[in-house]
Amino acid sequence: MYKIFLFLLLNIALYAQNPKAFSTLGDIIYNNVDKIQKLENIDDYEVYKKKIKEYVADVKKLKKEGFALDEGVNTNKMQYLNKLRKLSQTNDFFVRSAKRNLDLAIENENSKLFTRLINTGLIDEKKSKNKIIDYYFAHSDEVSATGLIQKYLDNDKKLRAKKEYKKSLLNSKKLRELEKIRRIRKNDKLEQEKLEQQLNQEVQKKKLEIRQEQKKELSKTI
């Protein structure tokens, strides 16, 4: 029983890895496919939704062929390599697209798109670190410190300290805004009371003028 379990476990572990044939090219494709699939959940990639689904299906199918090649069941190496090259072009297209759209998101201050793109895993963490962190601290009221940003913060004490400082500034700003709203409401109330008092005085004055006018008219008839 133990040997059967061990055999199944080893087979699962082996299948969980990528095919060994042409792994230099294959690993990039197989490791990115789940990341590319995340683009389906981004509104800006709605037009590519069908293409992404087809690509994911093709990658999974080719991965099975790769394992068959490793096991000697499939011996057509060149056919497998050509399919890898074709899928590699699609992989590169989506990686470039994610990078380009991240730059556009930063330029247009689109925090929703920014957050979703950096958490797909398609963005180069090292090369894009500075611009991602800069955008985060400039828009920390819109961007949550999750995923890749949290990873940066966890690995950098200075960034964590900066986050806390920005958080305290944000809290202070909120307090100032609340205080400003309170003052405005108080002033509005005072102005309203003053206006009502003026209107009341004018009404009383008008009533008095009317009564006096009525008395004059009455005295003329006597």
Confidence grade of residue 8 (pLDDT, cut at 50, 70, 90): very low
Residue 33 CA to residue 165 CA, distance in Å, equals 38
Full-model pTM: 0.65
Structure tokens at 179: 């205080």
Q: Which residues contact 162 (CB under 8 A, 6 or more apart)?
A: 137
Residue 100 CA to residue 83 CA, distance in Å, equals 26
In the Cβ-directed half-sphere of 83, how many Cα atoms lie within 13 Å? 17
Residue 52 CA to residue 116 CA, distance in Å, equals 16
Q: What is the pLDDT of residues 147-206, one digit of tens each?
A: 988 888 888 776 666 666 666 666 666 656 766 776 777 777 778 888 788 877 877 877
Q: What is the mean pLDDT of residues 45-51?
A: 96
For the chain, strand residue ranges (E) read: none
Structure tokens at 99: 């990078």
Q: What is the pLDDT of residues 81-98, one digit of tens each?
A: 999 999 999 999 999 999
DSSP class of 19: P
